Structure 1
Amino acid sequence: MYCSLTQRAFIACLANGETIRVFKMSKKEDGFTFSAAPEDFPKRHKAPIINIGIAETGKFIMTASSDTTILVWDLKGEVLAPINTNQITNAYAAVSPCGRFVASCGFTPDVKVWEVCFGKAGEFREVCRAFELKGHSAGMCGFSFSNDSRRMATVSKDGTWKLWDTDVEYKKQQDPYLLHTGRWPVSEPCRIALSPDARVVAISSTSDITVFSTRTGAQEEEFHSVHGEVITDLAFDTNNRFLVSTGDRAIRVFHNTAGYRAAIADMKDMLKKTTNKGTKDRLQQQINDAQSTLDTVCRQRN
């Protein structure tokens, strides 16, 4: 079962029927309660569903199956638009954190991104091709968005991961910019997670996790045999403080020490360039706070 959550609804994919069930969330004095919609979504996929997602705006739901099909739904179970990815098979698909894009990757060496467009009154208009991430030489394993969707990270069977600047005017035919290429020890299945601030990339290989700096491409940390079985998902929290992995019915939480180091380095660069005393004092305080947190985490490890 795959799940996704917004502030208003919780959706689940039922593997035994390849259908979607929506749970409405309501707040009570003693917490939250979820109530299932009267009917499940109709079965529209002809192959097993591999990923689902819901826009943070609550305007649409995305489902992707293992063939080349992606469906965009409204929350009532009506299909707004089908997408044929033309990737021979889909390996992974997701909705961007901003709720504007749907992306997928698969057998072909690229990631395709579409924009789900709505009118000013909130009515659905169309799904249009936005841009593609091209540059890998083998099939894709996965991808990840930064929190503002201005950066994306991709990982491929060719043994490389790439960081992209996706803050482009694609309607003017502007292509994303490749910012960095790094190497990873190819071991499938794998997952990739880009930190919300795009400073760190984490890649899982079977049951191991390797963390890289997007600034230098250098390997920052490595965690071996994190789970007894294959890692099924990998993600950072929205505040860049933790990295979370799932697998073998367990959840593992790691401090994002690489993220703290990257943030400190960036702030030190900013400190050298600024001439305003107030800004300098504020940056120095932020550096001190981040360094103190990092030191505390490192002492706990030792």
Structure 2
Amino acid sequence: MSESEASLPLIAVTAAVGAIVLLFTLLCSVFRREKPTQEENDKDKQTANAVSEKSNSNKKVKPVTKSIKKPAHIPFTHEWLSCTLKGHSSRIVSLDFSPNGKYLITASEDRALMLWSVKEFRQKEHKYIRGNVEFDSATHIAFSPDSRALVASLANENAVRIFRLGKKDDGSHNVTISGAVTFPQKHKHDIIGVGISSSGKWIMTCSGDTTILIWDLKGEILTTIDTHQVNNSCGKVSPCGRFVASSGFTSDVKAWEVHFDKSGTFSKVKRAFELKGHLAGVYDFDFNNDSRRMASVSKDGTWKVWDTDVRYDMGQDPKLLCSGQVSNPGPALVALSPDGRTVAVGVDTSIAFWDAANGQQDQFLENVHADSMSCLKFDISGRYLVCSGGKHVHALHNVTGYRATVAELEEKLRTASGPGMKERLKQQVSEAREALENILSPSKDSP
């Protein structure tokens, strides 16, 4: 064997050993690199878990609460309640009595107008005649002086529409309600009040800014009034047909007199008087039937009754007759009976009856409606106060008015001199007491 042949196995062995050493070195290097990476991953996981725990600890844990259902409203019952009118499927937003005393009209968000008979208020059944407001719904409504037409403001169009009350052609004498004419849109803000004068010569619309528009019956604007009250909260026409008044953000109620000349042509609108005495904005106000008395309710938590039978053209201001505190805070409604003897103040779902002669509270009714009241108004005779809340209307007997009438007649009887006068007063006292007794102690046969 030669020397070169003997060295070949040695070289092979040496190469094999070197390869093994190199492989071992590479494996150790890889292991060293993977180990720190695994440790870093473990550290990252620990850091992430710590951050997550800290984040979860900072989060407010929402308590698990069970949904509480609002208790069902218990239907209102009271000895003063004459009836409840049901028929609308949505919230009632406005109502008015016809000047002839026969009807009550209600307007609802269900796009319906419903006409009710006042003489059925003491009956078990209450029928109504329905009219539809096409493509819109009425927000405020008022009867015309002849009780044959209605003036309504529209929700979507923000305009005025005249509705006619007619009779069917079938000879059944059933009344129909149909839209006749729509005035052009003129208000830039939502209309918050409508009215028509007792003379039938002009129509008033009041919007939520500071604008009052006086229209003729053809839809032409006669004049525009700027109330300067920052914004209007209420606008009404007096029952005597002479005044238009408004209240708003300021603490007063402003009244203007609408003048026509002898030929019946519109002349001007002139500032008449202001009710000054509240300390904050006035929510609502109302007139009695001859406009010699007014009532107002304010954000300052008070209601007031005013003598407006003054010589305002000579600079005389209305006189404050009495005042009282509103039972609950919040937006309020006020209604003054036609004879001026009763003041009703509605807040949320409660109504307080006050004697306007002495300012004493006579009755406080709670939970009259399931929802906040939207309307409060006496009928033409003063026998009923109607209030709407939600889909229903309640007609309440004006017991406070009967009691005030009895007290006033008894006072007159004490001072009466002639026998004829005394006899008439005794008869009137007897009739008033009998009417009051029938309300508070109805017979078993009565509804």
TM-score under structure 2 length normalisation: 0.65
Q: Shift of residue 210 of structure 1? A: 0.5
**What is the alpha-carbon distance in structure 2 between the residues aligned to residue 35 and residue 223 of structure 1?**
37
**Judging changes above 3 Å, is the alpha-carbon distance between structure 1 residues 57 and 25 closer, same or farther for their aligned structure 2 residues?**
farther
Q: Match of 2:154?
A: 14
Q: How does 1:76-155 map to 2 (within 5 A)?
A: 76-155=218-297
DSSP-derived class of the 2:290 partner: coil
Q: Match of 1:36?
A: 179
Stretch moving more, 160-169 or 196-205: 160-169
Identity %: 48
Contact 1:157 1:186 in 2 (8 A): no
Question: Which of residues 232, 236, 259 in structure 1 aligns to 2:378?
Answer: 236
DSSP-derived class of the 1:52 partner: strand
**What is the alpha-carbon distance in structure 1 between the residues aligned to residue 292 and residue 345 of structure 2?**
20
**What is the alpha-carbon distance in structure 2 between the residues aligned to residue 35 and residue 255 of structure 1?**
32
Per-residue CA shift, 1:39-89, capped at 9, x if unaligned?
A: 421111111111111112211111111111110101111011101011101
DSSP-derived class of the 1:279 partner: helix
Q: Match of 2:336?
A: 194
Larger radius of gyration: 2
Question: Which of residues 47, 55, 67 in structure 1 aligns to 2:197?
Answer: 55
**Structure 1 residue ranges without an equivalent (≥5):** none
Q: Shift of residue 123 of structure 1? A: 1.1
Corresponding pairs, count: 301
Q: Aligned AA for 1:140?
A: V
- Larger helix share, 1 or 2: 2
Q: Aligned AA for 1:67?
A: D
Q: Aligned AA for 2:405?
A: A
Q: Match of 1:24?
A: 164
**What is the alpha-carbon distance in structure 1 between the residues aligned to residue 349 and residue 329 of structure 2?**
9
Q: How does 1:194-273 map to 2 (within 5 A)?
A: 194-273=336-415
Q: Shift of residue 27 of structure 1? A: 5.4
Question: Which of residues 137, 143, 165 in structure 2 aligns to 1:5?
Answer: 143
Q: Aligned AA for 1:86?
A: H
Per-residue CA shift, 1:124-163, capped at 9, x if unaligned?
A: 1111100000011111111110000000011111111111
Q: Match of 1:75?
A: 217
DSSP-derived class of the 1:136 partner: coil
**What is the alpha-carbon distance in structure 1 between the residues aligned to residue 397 and residue 284 of structure 2?**
23
Per-residue CA shift, 1:107-133, capped at 9, x if unaligned?
A: 100000001111122111111100000
**What is the alpha-carbon distance in structure 2 between the residues aligned to residue 190 and residue 219 of structure 1?**
16
**What is the alpha-carbon distance in structure 2 between the residues aligned to residue 137 and residue 121 of structure 1?**
43
Q: Aligned AA for 1:72?
A: I
Q: Shift of residue 189 of structure 1? A: 2.3
Q: Match of 2:132?
A: none
**What is the alpha-carbon distance in structure 1 between the residues aligned to residue 336 and residue 297 of structure 2?**
11
**Structure 2 residue ranges without an equivalent (≥5):** 1-137
TM-score under structure 1 length normalisation: 0.96
Q: Match of 2:26?
A: none
**What is the alpha-carbon distance in structure 1 between the residues aligned to residue 270 and residue 328 of structure 2?**
33
DSSP-derived class of the 2:182 partner: coil
Q: Shift of residue 274 of structure 1? A: 1.1
DSSP-derived class of the 1:179 partner: strand
**Judging changes above 3 Å, is the alpha-carbon distance between structure 1 residues 192 and 301 closer, same or farther for their aligned structure 2 residues?**
farther
DSSP-derived class of the 2:429 partner: helix
Q: Match of 1:45?
A: 187
Q: Match of 1:172?
A: 314
Higher RCO, Cα 8 Å, sep 6+: 2
**What is the alpha-carbon distance in structure 2 between the residues aligned to residue 279 and residue 301 of structure 1?**
32
Q: Match of 2:41?
A: none
DSSP-derived class of the 1:56 partner: coil
Q: Shift of residue 34 of structure 1? A: 4.3
Q: Shift of residue 26 of structure 1? A: 4.2
**What is the alpha-carbon distance in structure 1 between the residues aligned to residue 186 and residue 256 of structure 2?**
20
Per-residue CA shift, 1:16-38, capped at 9, x if unaligned?
A: 0100011234456514444433x
DSSP-derived class of the 2:436 partner: helix
Contact 1:189 1:230 in 2 (8 A): no
Q: Shift of residue 240 of structure 1? A: 1.4
Q: Aligned AA for 1:46?
A: K
**What is the alpha-carbon distance in structure 1 between the residues aligned to residue 328 and residue 233 of structure 2?**
16
DSSP-derived class of the 1:243 partner: strand
